[in-house]
């Protein structure tokens, strides 16, 4: 199964196309205030942020880059408020070996206050890792103070899974970790493997992996790029990029029972030309409705429970062919926020908002990337702080071509 064009095998081609577009870019004119907080340089700070950021204490931002760093395999970074703006500190630079390499997903804070994440490669035979980062036990006396990495699991690429994608890790109340891998598993799909949903259970100072579900590539779907989320009763939900009745991906549910987990397909996406091939994950509201995006066809959708089944509603369709990579973010008022990697007047991507209005949704274009110093090709999710400021990343562009971290203030 071929990964979407943003993956490392196609980065050069994407950059060449992006460079040509940048020559024609002109400034955007949105009403919101847009600021670039950091330009990635491919040096110690990294480059090509394929994931969004996570809000930490004091409004600090934490994230990953796919490339750059001292080893060239990506970094985990912190952006902190400073008197004159924001200061980036690299927390860890991947070396591409046993420690992992090429992180595609965000880092997430666990209940212990440390950062958890995945790498798509490195580990054992290049199959990726799950890792944890902790601050140094003693106070840092230098400007650059790396955090300490512990690899919690190294995927073998067989039945245990391999190559975690863009999805966030998820925790339950007892500290177990849940996630997905694009590859590995018990079945083969289109010359590759179909992927799994996994669980890591703490056992003393170690973690034990168990596979909750191994995709078959049939009606259940295949190749989950995004992670899973819990509902209030402990069921898991996610998207699969391919497979399904129309080979265009699925939305699935995993229900725990005494003997394991049972998979149910909630939605089969239509054949090519419709809303299909979901890369981003799902967002859940208080009524149990699910919101997500389709990459091919460029759509935002809602799934509502209805008499033991699920009703699919198309909320928005973007111009062009490709759609969002990242998951949606929902605020307290029920508005949805996200990014689209392409589109907008300069075809370098947009930040958008969808506002519920009765039975309809109103689309607002919050920012159009020009492909210049403001960045372009945003593939991340969006996070919102307590003041309503939005934060995210753009994979390309910026002053050094390595992407940016951006802020939109209302």
pLDDT tens column, 340-391: 999 999 999 999 999 999 889 999 999 999 999 999 999 999 999 999 999 9
Q: What is the pLDDT of residue 26?
A: 37
pLDDT at 191 over 80: no
Q: What is the pLDDT of residue 321?
A: 65
pLDDT at 22 over 50: no
Give the neighbor-by-neighbor strand order of the sheet with 129-134.
108-109, 115-119, 129-134, 148-154
Give mean pLDDT, residues 171-178. Answer: 96
Higher pLDDT, 202 or 14: 202
Residue 142 confidence class, pLDDT cut points 50, 70, 90? low
Helix (H) or strand (E) holding 16: helix 11-22
Q: What is the pLDDT of residue 18?
A: 39
Which of 24-28, 34-38, 114-118, 215-219 is predicted least confidently?
Answer: 24-28
Long-range contacts of 386-393 (CB under 8 A, 24+ apart): 390/337, 390/351, 390/366, 391/37, 391/52, 391/53, 391/55, 391/61, 392/52, 392/53, 392/326, 392/339, 392/351, 393/49, 393/51, 393/52, 393/53, 393/63
pLDDT at 84 over 90: no
The pTM score is: 0.92
pLDDT at 238 over 50: yes
Residue 319 confidence class, pLDDT cut points 50, 70, 90? confident
Q: What is the pLDDT of residue 338?
A: 98
pLDDT digits (tens, 9 = 90+) for 90-111: 999 999 999 999 999 999 999 9
Q: Give Cα 352 to chain centroid, integer Å.
A: 17
Which of 264-278, 286-300, 328-342 is predicted least confidently?
Answer: 264-278
Q: What is the pLDDT of residue 274?
A: 65
Map out the domains of the chain with their CATH numbers: 8-409 (2.120.10.30)
Q: What is the mean pLDDT of the chain?
A: 90
Above pLDDT 70, what percent of the chain?
A: 90
Q: What is the pLDDT of residue 24?
A: 36
CB 403 within 8 A of CB 349: no
Higher pLDDT, 26 or 317: 317
Q: What is the pLDDT of residue 15?
A: 38
């Amino acid at each position: 199964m071929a990964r979407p064009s943003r993956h490392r095998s196609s980065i050069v081609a994407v950059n060449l196309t992006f460079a040509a577009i940048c020559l024609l870019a002109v400034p955007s004119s949105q009403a919101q205030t847009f600021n670039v907080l950091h330009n990635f340089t491919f040096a110690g700070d990294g480059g090509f942020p394929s994931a969004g950021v996570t809000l930490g204490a004091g409004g600090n931002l934490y994230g990953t880059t796919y490339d750059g760093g001292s080893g060239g395999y990506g970094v985990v970074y912190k952006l902190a408020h400073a008197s004159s703006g924001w200061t980036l500190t690299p927390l860890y630079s991947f070396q591409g070996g046993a420690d992992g390499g090429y992180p595609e997903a965000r880092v997430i804070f666990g209940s212990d206050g440390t950062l958890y994440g995945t790498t798509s490669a490195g580990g054992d035979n290049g199959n990726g890792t799950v890792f944890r980062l902790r601050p140094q036990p003693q106070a840092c006396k230098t400007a650059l103070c790396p955090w300490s990495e512990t690899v919690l699991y190294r995927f073998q690429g067989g039945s245990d899974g391999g190559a975690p994608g863009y999805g966030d890790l998820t925790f339950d109340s007892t500290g177990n970790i849940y996630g997905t891998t694009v590859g590995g598993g018990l079945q083969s799909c289109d010359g590759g493997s179909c992927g799994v949903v996994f669980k890591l259970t703490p056992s003393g100072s170690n973690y034990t992996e168990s596979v909750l579900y191994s995709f078959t590539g049939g009606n259940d779907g295949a190749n989950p790029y995004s992670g899973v989320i819990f509902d209030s009763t402990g069921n898991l939900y996610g998207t699969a990029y391919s497979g399904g009745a129309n080979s265009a991906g699925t939305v699935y549910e995993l229900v725990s029972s005494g003997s394991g987990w049972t998979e149910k397909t909630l939605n089969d996406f239509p054949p090519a030309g419709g809303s299909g091939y979901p890369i981003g994950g799902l967002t859940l509201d208080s009524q149990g409705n699910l919101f997500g995006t389709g990459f091919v066809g460029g759509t935002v959708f809602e799934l509502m429970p209805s008499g033991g089944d699920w009703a699919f509603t198309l909320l928005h369709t973007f111009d062009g062919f490709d759609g969002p990579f990242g998951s949606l973010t929902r605020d307290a008022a029920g508005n949805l926020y996200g990014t689209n990697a392409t589109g907008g007047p300069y075809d370098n991507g947009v930040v958008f908002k969808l506002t519920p209005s009765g039975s309809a949704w109103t689309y607002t274009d919050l920012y159009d990337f020009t492909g210049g110093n403001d960045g372009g090709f945003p593939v991340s999710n969006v996070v919102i702080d307590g003041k309503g400021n939005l934060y995210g990343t753009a994979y390309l562009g910026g002053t050094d071509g390595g992407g940016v971290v951006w802020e939109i203030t209302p």
